[in-house]
Amino acid sequence: MHYTYRPSDVCSTKIDFEINDGVITNVVFTNGCNGNLKAIGKLVDGWTADDIADKLLGNTCGFRPTSCADQLAKAVLEAKASEK
């Protein structure tokens, strides 16, 4: 299932990915730190939503209480919940 998430309080404006039985693939961020966000997408490809959340939830960026990685963790958990 394709999922689109609109992050808040970060530089990226959209996160798209596929979720199948809780497994995340094809993560693409729109805007933000291009190289870093491409790397995150490659690193987590094939991980479960729970694994992504375990590693990335709560990660911050500078003075912000969140980050693009944290927003990805929130997105995959939301997608997992909507998959049921």
In tens, the pLDDT along 31-79 reads: 999 999 999 999 999 999 999 999 999 999 999 999 999 999 999 999 9
Confidence of residue 84 (pLDDT cuts 50, 70, 90): confident
Could you tell me if 59 and 32 are in contact, meaning their C-beta atoms sit under 8 angstroms apart? Answer: no
CA separation, residue 29 to residues 7, 14, 84 (Å) = 10, 6, 24
Rounded Cα distance, 60 and 73, in Å: 12
Which pLDDT belongs to residue 13? 98
The CATH number of the structural domain formed by 2-83 is 3.90.1010
**Any idea how long the chain is?**
84
Per-residue pLDDT at 19 = 98
The confidence score (pLDDT) of residue 2 equals 98
CA geometry: angle 54, 57, 62, nearest 5 deg:
140
